[in-house]
Every structure is written in C-alpha cells, then in structure tokens.
Structure 1
Amino acid sequence: MKTLTHLNTVSAFNTFNQFETRHPLVNIVDWSKAIVRRDSTVHLNLYCIALSVLDNHEGQLAFIAPGQVIGIEHNTAEIKGKGHALVFHHDLIKETSLAEKLSVYYFFHKDCHQIIQLSEWETKTVADCFSKIEYELSQSIDKHSKKLLTSNIELFLNYCERFYDRQFITQESLNQGMVKNFNDLLNQYFSSEDLIEVGIPSVAYFAEKLNISANYFGDRIKKEAGKCAQEYIQKKIVAEAINKIHDRSKTINEIAYELGFKYPQHFSRFFKKNVGISPNEFRTAGSDY
C-alpha cells in the first residue's frame, strides 16, 4: 500500500530525499542522488522545476506547483540520473516582485502538469541559470542572499516563459488547422460506438489523438478559435441532441444514453443549462433553437 508523505518545507524535502540543506527556503538538487521510494506518494507544498537532459543533449522541463500530489514511481524514478531540479518555498519570494508575477506563469497553475521541450541551446541556458543559483547557495547567507536568489529565479522563470511561448511558434505549421482536426475527431467519435460504450470524451482524449499534451492542446484551441476545447465538446453535444430530439421515434432517455450520458437526468440538466429549456419542452415546442 502506498503511503502519502506531506513535504511542506525545503528542509523536509531535503531530508526525505537525503539532500543537503544549504538554505532553508531553496535548493538545487541532483536527481541522480535522490532516494526513490516506489511505494510513496508525495504531497508537495513547494515550487519545483525539474530539468531532464536527454541523450541528444536536448531537455525537458517539468513544473510542479504547491499543493500537487506526485507519484514517486512516475516522477522521481523517471528523471533519476538525468538532471537537476530547483525547489523553493513561497516564503523565499514573499514581498518581492517575483511574488506578484508568479501567478502569471501558466506552467505553475495547480491544475497544470506542464512539460516544456527544450532545444540543446535552451537546455544549456537552463543549466546556466541553475549554476548561478547553485553558486549563490554555496555562499554564506547574508543580507544580499534573498535578493540574488530571487532575481536569479525570476530570470530563470522568464526564460521558461520564453521557451513555453516558443512552442507555439515552432509548432505553428504542425498546428495549422487544429480546430478542423479537432472537429473531424469530434465527428468521428460521435458517429462511432465509443459514445455509447465509453461516454462523453474528454479534452485529454483528443489531445492524445493529436499526440500533444492536454494543456498545450487547450491553449491552441483557445488561441485559434477564441473558446476552449470543452466548450467545443459541449456545443457538439447540444447540436447532436437537437437533431435527435427532432426524431420523435426515440424517447428522451434513449437520446441521453446515445449521447453518452449515464443518467437521463444529467442529460436533461445539461440540455436546459445550454439551451434554456428542457429536452421535453424543446420537443413539445417544436422550436427552431
């Protein structure tokens, strides 16, 4: 049985992984020296950015926000021996300019498990940022420590923001027509047996079909179409529902099941929320909604 470990401080994080504590609020750690506990799950109340260096010298950045739960076997074990990580507590940046800016970094949203792919040059840039923070950690703590540490972390996060935005530019040709591809996949799904057998598809389902992350997929759809992917799915359900409701040979309950709803009452609530009246009222009125 897995155990849940709460790590609320950098010191606790260091002790758990047997790292040296050089500063109570921040550390740069080498994952090759981490202790892997495959039977553990960690609730991390810290910011963490892990760099994994691949065999071709390119890299990946993984971001963890305070409050997220990490399965050790799917995280630490994967990056063990491949790179370093920056971990810091919010108290480090309290009353600094970085504290105000931190909320704008998309990759630190609590519902986001963002991975940024890095070129060889970008990987070296990250390593250089880590080296600057590492150097400061090797010095004795004095009145300048906080300012230098936070300014270097802010510089690093600004680079991360550039790398994140760069993904949209370098993959633009691959993403052209993504809304069309999304619509095609929606149509295929709604004409298949999956809708009845599996249920209403998630945003993650379509992202996987397009071989991109769910967060990146959501961002692209939002940028291209001005509305989120979930709205697209909901509008598709409404359009299909209206077509089926006009067919009076089927009951509302049958239509609900055909649209992937496990319970007809859930379909009725969904329809009324999006159309303004219930399915039965819509059918009775014979309106042109």
Structure 2
Amino acid sequence: MDHYATLKDYCEAINIPSSKWEDFDIRTFEENMKTVHQKMPPFKHEFYAIALKLDGSGYAKTGNYSTEDLKATLFFNSPYQILRWDIAPDWDGFYIIFSEEFYRREESKKQISADFPFLLVDNTIPLTLNSEEAVTFIKIFEDMLMEHKKNDALSKTICHLNTLVLLHKVGRLFDKKVPASERSFDHRNQDLNLVSRFKTMLETSFYPNQTFENGEPHKVRYYADQLNIHPNHLNAVIKRITNSPASEHIQNHILTLAKSKLSNTSLSIKEIAFDLYYNYPNHFANFFKKQMGVTPNTFRKGIK
C-alpha cells in the first residue's frame, strides 16, 4: 500500500499541483477535478483532513465508512488511516489537509488527538448536513480559501485560526449527531500517541553530543525501554499504523542522516560513524553497504 509522508508526494500521487505550504493546503473539489485521478486504490498519508462534499457521484472511503449516495457531508481522516476513492469528475465542495505541526504551531506539547478525539475514530463517520449547517461550513471554507490565496505575512496565522474554528464546529456537530455507542477513541488514540512519541525520540536521539549509557539508538530495544514496552509490541504498533516496523524507521533515519553527511560535509567515515553513535566505524560501514549496496566511500565518490 502506498504511503505519502509529505504534501508534495500526496499531491503528485493524486495528480494535482503541489501545495503552496508544506504543512497545510486547501482546495475546492472543482479545481481538482481537472487533473485528479478519479480512482485511487487504498493508500495512507501522514496528515489530518476535513472535507465538505456538497455534491458529486461516486465515493470516498475512510476506514469503514463511505460518502456514497450522500449529498452535503463532512468527512475526515487522520494520519495513517486507509483512504481510497472512486469518483466522477462532478464533485463540488472543499477540503483542508494539514500536519500536526501546523496545528501545534508554537505550542509544541499540544496534541490534536487530545483536543479533538473525533479525528481518531477508527470508523470515521461522515456527518450529513442540513442546508443551514452546510451554509455555516461553506462560509468557513470560503474564508480560508480566500486567505490562502492571499498568501501574505498573516495568511498562515489566519488559516490556522480558521482551522481551529472548523475543528471546534465539527466537534460540536459530531457530539450532536453521533451516538456515544458508535464512538471508539481509545485504541487508535493510544497507538497514534505511541507513533508520535517514537518518531520524536528517533529524531532527538541522533542530535549531537549525547551519551547512551544503557542502549544504542540504532536498536528497537532502546526506544522500547524508554517507552516502557516490549520491543515486539513497539514493532507491532508502528507497523500496524505506518506499514513499516520500528526497525525500518530507525534504519531509514540513519541512512538519511548518513547520506546527508556524506554529501554535504568533508567528515571522514570514522567521524560520521561516531556522529551517528556507532562505537565501531566498521559497524556503520557494514550497515551502510548492506542497505545501499555500496560502501560509504563509494557513495561519496559517486556524488556529483
């Protein structure tokens, strides 16, 4: 199953122009209809999305729920949730798609899953709208779209504030329309929180000038110990949400850092190995060759 980690990759995959901002985008379905792939097989991305469908044939499906045969509808999905669609080129409406970082802004400890748990429902339930409700949401999307097109010094701040308004209004409508018996927040919420914590730890564990007395940041066990869970459980949760085990995320992160250092610095292979917290440079060299098929020196020589 395809997995898109950036908005650029997502836009390219569905065949629409790239977004102006790397952490937020807003579109009308009408403008997308010119080029978008009308049929997309199941895939995942790493963003939150809220869509307002006013009309259109075919369906979009998130989780176990579909928009088929629905007119004015709000539907949404969260990172790593399976999404697919099969639509005709007649859709009318809007959508926004944004990252957790866009939502947090300067408040690094905020978590959208805690503030708006309806985004984490495994069975993502579309909300049908009456005419009055539809008008309310159309106005919010139109204001955001106009601000996004301005793209001046305040546009991102205003779009962020409008996104908060939209989230609160969707949350209120969700509480009104969806019986408590149909809601299931806990397990997916816990899994996504674990993925978020793991990714943050992975990023910060390779910052410079750190010491590791009881583990190595190259191994799943190191992160599992910090999170107080078994390595097998960590691998299982990360794979369930992202389609790749924790070990693969660690390897990919090390490779990204290593290739950057080989391409952009004059550090020796030994110095790069120590920068990446390998105790023995030959362990780094063996890892790199196994993953890339060439030694670090050969890789560096091939850079133009």
Q: TM-score, normalised by structure 1?
A: 0.50
Q: TM-score, normalised by structure 2?
A: 0.48
Structure with the higher fraction of residues in helix conformation:
1
